[in-house]
Structure 1
């Protein structure tokens, strides 16, 4: 901290936002301050959209249905899946299924159709 400014946070934001700096700002950061752009491993993963999250949960529901033959998922059930990025995830499938049922009226027709195709019980 210097005069109320968190310099570590500022340096991090400069390194991560390197491409938003002008050429002169980049030169000054490198030559005067010794700050270099962040490498790929340091950059945060992009945030998942709501559509991405819905698709992941749908795949978990499909996996559960293929294994169990129904979608009567206990509320506290956690489904383990492996994503396209080979990352293992634990999804709270029971809660998600319950939420989809309670939001049936506001779901898009496509999503209702997708869930119905894998045995979703709406009532």
Structure 2
């Protein structure tokens, strides 16, 4: 069995952990959260959370080693995904509309839709200026074509977007 120091390191290596010899390791002081604990530059909090939520997918030996460290699977109530609010879709639609407006502005100015991936277009929507990463928007729209609504596809097609 490997032995661990109070800071969570092995073989006497320094970890840069915030734990002191008189305090418990950071993974035992509360529920793990992203960036809650780093050892040797590795985010242990995120790793530990992944082990606890994916307990069923771990092998028997992995579960045994984690159990030796007093790590247990998360209760089913903590595994459930948070409920998304109704406003989340509105933000996606607004971002898409800004992207379409930026694409139309670019086409009017340049005469084509061959947008470099790194190009950012500044567009005014609802009296506010927005910086739209137009090359990224176009690339994502093409790669996610199957997930776009019929209306979204029509808007892009009306601008003359070629899907290949």
Gaps of 5+ in 1: 1-45
Normalising by the residue count of structure 2, what TM-score does the alignment of the two structures yield?
Answer: 0.44
- Return the offset for 1:82: 1.4
Match of 2:135 in 1: 94
Normalising by the residue count of structure 1, what TM-score does the alignment of the two structures yield?
Answer: 0.57
The CA RMSD over aligned residues, in Å, is: 1.8
Match of 2:144 in 1: 103
Distance in 1 separating the partners of 2:151 and 2:128: 27
- Return the offset for 1:83: 1.9
Contact kept, 8 Å, 1:78 with 1:90, in 2: the verdict is: yes
Match of 2:154 in 1: 113
Gaps of 5+ in 2: 1-86
Rg: which structure is higher?
A: 2
Structure richer in helix, relative to its length: 1
Displacement over 2 Å in runs of 4+: none
